[in-house]
Amino acid sequence: MKKTAFLKWLSLGMLLSVAVACGKEDDDDLNNPPAKEEQKPTASDPTPDTKGQLPKLVENQSLRFNLWAENNVGWVGSFNGSNLPITQYIDYVKVSSYDESTKSFKEEWTDEFESFNTTRWSKGNWAIGIVTERTDNIVVEDGVLQLKLTKEMVDGTAKYYGAELLSKESFKYGRYEAKMKMACAPGCISSMFLYYNDSYISGKNWNELDIEVLGKNSNAFQSNIITGISSAKTTTEKIHALPFDVRNDYHIYVMEWTPEYVSWSIDGVEMRRTVAK
């Protein structure tokens, strides 16, 4: 073989080898796509307490979680019960107190739900919205507490049953954290909130701080401060868009309440901070 022909043959062989190798790499890329980056919520800037609500948060409040339904299309979507049962899952709850002198939080306790702690928690059994809360709709299985929203036919009529978990202890300033997989279906509300137990009584202070997933959108949650009295409440609701569906995975939800601010966070990202004027 002449030298020129040999060199052409050698060059062609090298090009073919490179092409085969590149094709294999492309196949490997197709068969093993890179892992998706976990999407995080977008942080927000602090906003002033323009309605003067923080100084009115004066009552000790119980920590609560509930799953219920309401006929309010504009707020939570149109309820028909066809998606029931649904479940809100709570992996753990952590409560920390707040030291006003050092402006720091101190963990008081964590409940990982190895069992249902009757000295720490109660179960609601009252009517709310279009459901009746039932104690049987709260269960602990495999280290997870579950709140269930269910439907039953009674004498040919559909009856709906929700669930509410509430702490026996009431708290004031502190940090309240829960790892949860929230529920969501049209007309339903899945929540974590702080609530002054006498708020519903006429003339009493209404004090409440909320995290609520509203049934018409599983990619958002609502934060809220409620003050005033039952007949004249002041609210500051805000909807926060999320880059994930709250039903699919566990996320860490946190509320911090101090004399200087109230904040709401998910997975370490602060979504809202209302600061005292």
The two beta strands, 251-257 and 238-241, are unpaired
162 within 8 A of 149, measured Cβ to Cβ: yes
Beta bridge partners of 145: 90, 140
Cα–Cα distance measured from residue 211 to residue 221, given in angstroms and rounded to the nearest whole number: 7
To the query of whether residue 208 is one of the catalytic residues in this protein, the response is yes
Catalytic hit among 141, 212, 237, 270:
212
38 is catalytic: no
Residue among 59, 177, 208, 256 flagged as catalytic: 208
> DSSP letters along 31-42, please?
HSPPPPPPP-PP
72 secondary structure, DSSP code: B
Contacting residues for 38 by C-beta, under 8 A, at least 6 apart: none
The residues that are catalytic are: 208, 212
